[in-house]
Amino acid sequence: MNDVKYVYTFGDKKAEGNAKMKELLGGKGANLAEMNLIGVPVPPGFTITTEACAHYYKKGKQEVLQLLDSQVRAGVRSVERDTGKEFGNPDNPLLLSVRSGARASMPGMMDTVLNLGMNDVVVKGFARKTGNERAAWDSYRRFIQMYGDVVMGLKPENKEDDDPFEVIIDELKEERGVKVDTDLTTGDLIELCSRFGRLIEKRTGRAFPQDPWEQLWGSVTAVFDSWMNARAIHYRALHGIPADWGTAVNVQAMVFGNMGDNSATGVAFTRDPATGENVFTGEYLINAQGEDVVAGTRTPQQVTKEGSQRWAKLAGVPEEERRTSYPSLEEAMPGLYYELDEIQQKLEDHYRDMQDLEFTIEQGKLWLLQTRNGKRTGQAMVRIAMEMIDERMLNEKEALLRVEPGKLDELLHPVFDPEAEAKAREITKGLPASPGAATGQIVFFADETVEWAQKGKAVILVRKETSPEDIQGINYAKGILTSRGGMTSHAAVVARGMGKCCVSGAGALHIDYNAKTLSVNGSVFKEGDWISLNGTTGQVFEGKLPTRQVSLSGYFGRLMGLADQYARLKVRANADTPEDAFTARNFGATGIGLCRTEHMFFQGDRIVAVREMILAEDEAGRKDALAKLLPYQREDFEGLLEAMEGLPVTIRLLDPPLHEFLPNTEEAIQFMADDMGIPVERIKEHIEELQEINPMLGHRGCRLANTYPEISAMQVRAVLEAALNLKARGVKVDPEIMIPLTTVGNELKMQRDYIREVAQEVFKERGDSIPLKIGSMIEVPRAALVADNLAKCADFFSFGTNDLTQMAMGFSRDDVGKFLPIYLEKGILHADPFRTIDQDGVGQLVQTAVKRGRETKPELMMGVCGEHGGDPASIEFFHRSGLNYVSCSPYRVPIARLVAAQAMVKEGANIREKVLAGVDSC
């Protein structure tokens, strides 16, 4: 174990690591090494590997620190050599920075400790050496403050409190009667250091460490510890990052941007991260340390002159004032600017991607502290990728891989006007269940939502949680806000399907249906009050915010065209209405992979007929009620098939248990009784009769069709009559009938025979016919296992991976909230299996069914409908599994098209995403 190399040094244009070693050195460390190798000036330092961190969690602190001791000491010596300074030597002190750096950038972990190596003696030597006493004490003050915070854990005692160090600063400023930090004298800074030390001792019972080595080990340990803090765990859970990756630690010689007017510090992007425009852009401050640029206490200046002039125009600063008070780096330090500009071009060319840089100028010498691929908006991401093709920086395949599918979402949903959003009062935050922005008046009931909306009002439907009864309300609302339920709750799933903004599980909300009020943190909102939801962030704002529809830009269209050239996997959409169908076509869907016919049952008068059917005592009564539904369904299908003219439309027969169509509140039951003229008691009896202990595994899907065949008869008749009506009008149609919840072959056979009988009847009546495909959902584990048999009776398979996941894993989607968060936190699972398919388990069933189905029918068409059809990682898996298409919500179609292309490119290049450590790693 002692032979393992845990420390990699870099500096003076040499490095032991390089950019390819991200797994071992973290992103930051690998790039620091790489920059050295390509001749970019970087303060010397070393990286402690991620393996050391993993080891820390396996073997414990003592053992790892022992293992690291000699290598870290050697690393420090190497920095001392490169800098000619000495760690802890007051006469020529080497100061260090310590930064965490995981494989993937991870907010939530400890970020940075600066000026490490300072102590009561060194500060004086540093002052002597630099001749800048004020800067020395300011650096020391900052070091104590940072170390106290991130290493010794001095946080505000209550979340409402301010940072305890800032409180001391404010007190001193009041004592001294000064307004801004810069008015504090050197003496004041010395006083601050002393007060900070006392605070630390009082709060922690330990003195601020004077020994530089103790400081260093403390900081390294703090970085390791921060890998497992709650925020980091939460972030990993959210992003599917395995806990055993660990973080690297970067230790680097300090350089100072606060050494006077020939010093500066800044951040820059090689292209505009908001728009993607190919212009160098960035901000800097003279005589400052990095944190000052981002802290917002001073107004940062622009790096380029052009940027500076744009900024001044927006900010209303006259050119004269700009040039004197806020000059660009290009104007203030032209030589260094050109050096920086050259470096940024070099870095972008080298990394072939837009770079996010950190730089510091120390007394006229430029240092790069970091480079990394820059975060960017979805819009910028697409533009940069497309333009880099034109610039021959990337080929088409590379450009396709460069686009993050999930970020396309931003381009497909309305957003708030950013300025208005920045000023708005956030009242609470929930889960970002369905992206987009919505503003409207609060309404608490689905039926009232419909009424309000029909009067032309914009409504936000606010519920504790929603149920299938609320579908119409959801459809009419601008956005949905719920106090319960997760990312896969009913509200979330339905809203995503409709491309409707939704914030779910906002637990701080207290909803009182009787009083029609919503209270949160002491504020009370009534029905009719305006609120705004950001479904992309989960934020809920008070009042009405203006929204902006993003139009699909030219770059985006070009990206989609390119994707379709490469993709093998087709993309269909889940759509229940002609409106959804038009949206889907517009986004490039090649068909409808799932039309949930039951959604049609809730609209208007239909629900009355549906309920009549359910309450009917016999088949004759059911048939009477179904006869009333027939014209509605026919009309629905006519609209849908016409909207998709010529493209396949997969229509799933009735799936949910019948009790979902009955009311579930006293009021609604009373209303139904009055409306239908039948006793309340009879309705209640029926509701009780239909009650199930585990409805998900109950009387639903084709079990309904096989026990009440008259229901599917009506639906099939409606589909075929609609299709024949369209055919008569010269519209091409391609309907496919899909049997849900098939478990045994006999079910499928019986339904298929029955459907064909009905079809023959309709064809005979009409004297005309159409080809009709009949297929099966594969959503019960057993169905996947006997797929070779099912294939004999099926023209196609469609994987219902939601239910397949529920049954294969034994996870009720509605109840998983009780333990899934803990499972993600503890690393038992790496991702919510309802969001990203569990390839090892559920995926096996998919692949088994594909294999066996194709053994029977080599050309059997197979697709996926359900939430996973819109999830990038899952789509890639479906591509690899040999499916023909995925079907997802219309708003996910472009994302799926891109992923399909990426999957093909990766297949060609034999690229396989790094697989997470398995969840079955016994």
- Positions touching a copy of itself (CB under 8 A) are 692-699, 703, 706-707, 741, 743-750, 779-782, 785-786, 789-794, 803, 806-812, 814-816, 818-819, 822-823, 826-829, 838, 840-842, 844-845, 918-922
Q: How many helices (H) and strands (E) does the chain have?
A: 37, 34
Q: Which residues contact 252 (CB under 8 A, 6 or more apart)?
A: 32, 43, 44, 45, 46, 79, 96, 97, 99, 369
Of 290 and 833, nearer to a copy of itself (C-beta) is 833
Please report where in the chains the tokens 């494989």 appear, as a residue: 103
3-class secondary-structure state, position 828: coil
3-class secondary-structure state, position 50: helix
Report which residue type is found at 529. Answer: D
Of 420 and 687, nearer to a copy of itself (C-beta) is 687
CB of 60 to a copy of itself, least distance (A): 15
Of 324 and 707, nearer to a copy of itself (C-beta) is 707
Q: Which residues contact 134 (CB under 8 A, 6 or more apart)?
A: 185, 186, 189
Q: What token pair was written down for 282? A: 């960035």
Q: What token pair was written down for 356? A: 């996010």
Of 411 and 662, nearer to a copy of itself (C-beta) is 662
Burial class (CB in 10 A: 0-12, 13-18, 19+), 316: exposed
Of 60 and 631, nearer to a copy of itself (C-beta) is 60
Of 728 and 822, nearer to a copy of itself (C-beta) is 822
Q: Rounded CA gap, 883 and 751, in Å?
A: 24
Q: Rounded CA gap, 920 and 902, in Å?
A: 28
Q: Are strands 773-778 and 734-739 parallel, antiparallel or unpaired?
A: parallel
Question: How crowded is the C-beta side of 677, counted as CA atoms within 13 Å?
Answer: 0
Of 185 and 844, nearer to a copy of itself (C-beta) is 844
Of 521 and 707, nearer to a copy of itself (C-beta) is 707
Q: Rounded CA gap, 168 and 754, in Å?
A: 81
Of 185 and 746, nearer to a copy of itself (C-beta) is 746
CB of 793 to a copy of itself, least distance (A): 4
> CA 831, 833, 836, 840 torsion: positive or negative?
positive
CB of 442 to a copy of itself, least distance (A): 25
DSSP state of 599: G
3-class secondary-structure state, position 283: strand
Q: Which residues in 328-471 belong to E strands, given as ranges?
A: 355-362, 365-373, 415-416, 426-429, 431-434, 437-443, 459-463
Instruction: Classify the phi-psi angles of 28: left when phi > 0, otherwise alpha if psi is within -120 to 50, otherwise beta.
Output: alpha
* Cα dist from 483 to 242, 429, 489, 540, whole Å: 30, 10, 11, 12
CB of 808 to a copy of itself, least distance (A): 5
Residues facing 461 on adjacent strands: 443, 480
CB 139 within 8 A of CB 126: yes
CB of 689 to a copy of itself, least distance (A): 9
Q: Which residues contact 719 (CB under 8 A, 6 or more apart)?
A: 633, 637, 651, 735, 737
Residues facing 41 on adjacent strands: none
Of 317 and 919, nearer to a copy of itself (C-beta) is 919
Angle between helix 893-909 and 554-566 (nearest 10): 50
Positions marked catalytic: 490, 865
Q: Rounded CA gap, 27 and 47, in Å?
A: 11
3-class secondary-structure state, position 525: strand
CB of 464 to a copy of itself, least distance (A): 11
CB of 698 to a copy of itself, least distance (A): 4
Residues facing 594 on adjacent strands: 574
Of 267 and 793, nearer to a copy of itself (C-beta) is 793
Q: What token pair was written down for 580? A: 């959804």
CB of 744 to a copy of itself, least distance (A): 4
Of 3 and 920, nearer to a copy of itself (C-beta) is 920
Q: Rounded CA gap, 598 and 586, in Å?
A: 24
CB 462 within 8 A of CB 442: yes
CB of 505 to a copy of itself, least distance (A): 15
CB of 897 to a copy of itself, least distance (A): 31
Burial class (CB in 10 A: 0-12, 13-18, 19+), 605: exposed
CB of 218 to a copy of itself, least distance (A): 30
CB 598 within 8 A of CB 655: yes
Of 142 and 830, nearer to a copy of itself (C-beta) is 830
User: 511: closest CA among 468, 461, 557, 583?
Assistant: 461
Phi first, then psi, for residue 180 (nearest 5°) are -115, 155
CB 512 within 8 A of CB 456: no
User: 709: closest CA among 733, 679, 739?
Assistant: 739
Taking 3-state DSSP, the helix, strand and coil percentages for the chain, each rounded to the nearest 5, stand at 50, 15, 35
CB of 856 to a copy of itself, least distance (A): 9
Q: Rounded CA gap, 435 and 446, in Å?
A: 21
CB of 855 to a copy of itself, least distance (A): 14
Q: How far apart are the first and last CA of the chain?
A: 23
CB 554 within 8 A of CB 433: no
